[in-house]
């Protein structure tokens, strides 16, 4: 229940802060009213007092309308790093155990085509992978730039991502529309993979790079822009302080429904900061999962997500996006035994939109 306590603690801080602010504002208003109602003392040759001017806060409708959208050209190339860190906590007879994993994908995103109707096609090419985990005392580490010895089965899914890729289309609402060349991408990833391991490898590839994997990548970066999400945001029109909501359904690796609220917190000529806060609805996986040869049922009791994204206004791409998700789940074994788990997923995306490729010197390898 650590996730609930953490969330309750954070909510308590916010509520106390809000209550304190309301109390302070009320006292200040009472003090101001008392000052205004108090009769002025008579003085000799008193100078005329200038009329008091009341400060008024500008309403949201009076804020300047800005535009947040993708500003890209064909053949533009952007290096990116996506990192996913997961921590699974589970109560046992010996106490609470923690399992951790970290996946770092180094990739390049290239604009291949832009249609008049707002659709854009991107090519993603993976240039490096780092993976590590510590699960039940088993430690695994892999770096595609420093391979050493035989690759563990858990890492084979990521080994063939390097120098491999595919394309995808996004619509004018910055949502993924279609994957292009993904089947060929999978075939290259499965080269030399034993038949008994293909199902596991496919599941991991789909989780990181399939429809949901790319949709996760898009939603945590360019997909959070308000471009054409409803009739109030045509062309990415937005004001500081304004909020918009998106609902998304995931199927991999765990089916869930996410309702996320985005708020434009800050904006200047170069960058924009968007705050992220969301709820993960309770759900149940209808078909049994297979873990280490055992069938289990997984129930999602609920969850929360929050984070922020720093947008480069020149391109509309994220300079840095960090989203944290907390899930509370119940696992039911085939023998009827149940136990609770808490899962934390931290996804970080960093882009380098202004980095130009330069020719290497003769000493470069």
Distance CA 260, CA 246 (A): 5
Cα angle vertex 93, ends 91, 99, to 5°?
A: 40
The one-digit pLDDT tens for each residue of the chain (365 residues) are 434 333 333 333 333 333 333 433 444 444 444 444 444 444 444 444 444 434 333 344 456 788 888 888 999 998 999 999 999 998 777 778 889 999 999 999 899 999 998 899 999 999 999 999 998 788 888 898 887 767 776 677 788 888 999 999 988 877 888 889 988 888 888 887 778 777 777 777 766 665 556 666 676 666 677 766 667 666 677 889 988 888 887 766 567 788 989 999 998 999 999 999 999 888 776 445 555 555 677 788 889 999 999 999 888 888 999 999 999 988 888 788 888 889 999 999 898 876 544 444 444 44
- Helical H runs in the chain? 2-37, 156-159, 182-189, 198-209, 211-219
DSSP state of 226: -
Q: Which of 179, 244, 242 is nearest to 215 (CA)?
A: 179
Burial 273-306 (b: 16+ CB within 10 A, else e): ebebebebeebeeeeeeeeeeeebbbebbbbbbb
Cα angle vertex 301, ends 297, 307, to 5°?
A: 120
pLDDT at 94: 74
Omega cis (within 30) before 253: yes
Is the CB of residue 89 less than 8 Å from the CB of residue 341?
Answer: yes
Q: Which of 172, 190, 170, 189 is nearest to 180 (CA)?
A: 170
Distance CA 188, CA 29 (A): 69
In whole angstroms, how far apart are CA 155 and each of 67, 109, 143, 291?
A: 42, 23, 10, 17
**Which tokens is 219 given?**
């939603």
DSSP state of 153: G
Burial 171-194 (b: 16+ CB within 10 A, else e): bbbbbbeebeebeebbeebbeebe
Kindly list the structural domains of the chain, giving each domain's residue range(s) and its CATH number in brackets, ordered by start.
Answer: 66-351 (2.30.230)
What is 31-95 written as a DSSP string?
HHHHHHHSPPPP-TTPPPPPPP----PPPGGGSPPEE------TT-EEEEEEEEEEEEEEEETTE
Distance CA 130, CA 152 (A): 13
- What length does the chain have? 365
Neighbours of 241 (CB within 10 A): 14
């Amino acid at each position: 229940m650590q996730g609930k306590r953490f969330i309750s603690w954070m909510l308590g801080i916010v509520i106390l802060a809000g209550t304190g602010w309301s109390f302070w504002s009320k006292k200040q208003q009472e003090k101001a009213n008392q000052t205004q109602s108090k009769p002025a003392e008579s003085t000799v040759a008193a100078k005329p007092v200038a009329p008091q001017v009341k400060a008024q806060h500008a309403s949201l409708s009076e804020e300047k309308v800005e535009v947040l959208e993708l500003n890209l050209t064909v053949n533009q190339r952007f290096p990116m790093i996506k990192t996913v860190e997961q921590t699974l906590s589970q109560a046992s007879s010996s106490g609470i155990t923690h399992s951790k994993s970290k996946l770092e994908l180094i990739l390049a995103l290239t604009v291949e085509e832009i249609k008049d109707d707002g659709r854009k096609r991107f090519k993603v090419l993976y240039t490096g992978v780092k993976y590590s985990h510590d699960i039940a005392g088993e430690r695994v580490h892999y770096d595609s730039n420093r391979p050493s010895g035989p690759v563990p089965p858990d890492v084979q899914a990521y080994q063939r991502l390097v120098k491999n890729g595919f394309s995808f289309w996004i619509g004018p609402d910055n949502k993924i529309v279609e994957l292009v060349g993904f089947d060929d991408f999978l075939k290259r990833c499965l080269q030399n993979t034993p038949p008994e391991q293909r199902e596991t490898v496919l599941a991991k590839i789909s989780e990181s790079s399939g429809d949901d994997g790319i949709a996760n990548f898009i939603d945590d970066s360019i997909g959070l822009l308000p471009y054409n999400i409803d009739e109030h945001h045509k062309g990415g029109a937005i004001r500081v302080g304004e909020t918009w909501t998106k609902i998304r359904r995931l199927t991999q690796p765990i089916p869930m429904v996410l309702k996320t609220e985005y708020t434009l917190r800050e904006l200047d000529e170069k960058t924009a900061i968007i705050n992220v806060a969301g709820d993960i609805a309770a759900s149940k996986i209808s078909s049994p999962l297979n873990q280490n040869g055992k069938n289990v049922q997984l129930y999602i009791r609920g969850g929360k997500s929050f984070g922020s994204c720093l947008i480069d206004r020149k391109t509309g791409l994220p300079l840095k996006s960090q989203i944290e998700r907390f899930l509370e789940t119940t696992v039911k074994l085939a023998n009827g035994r149940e136990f609770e788990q808490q899962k934390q997923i931290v996804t970080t995306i960093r882009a380098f939109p202004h980095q130009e490729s330069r020719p290497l010197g003769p000493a470069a390898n």
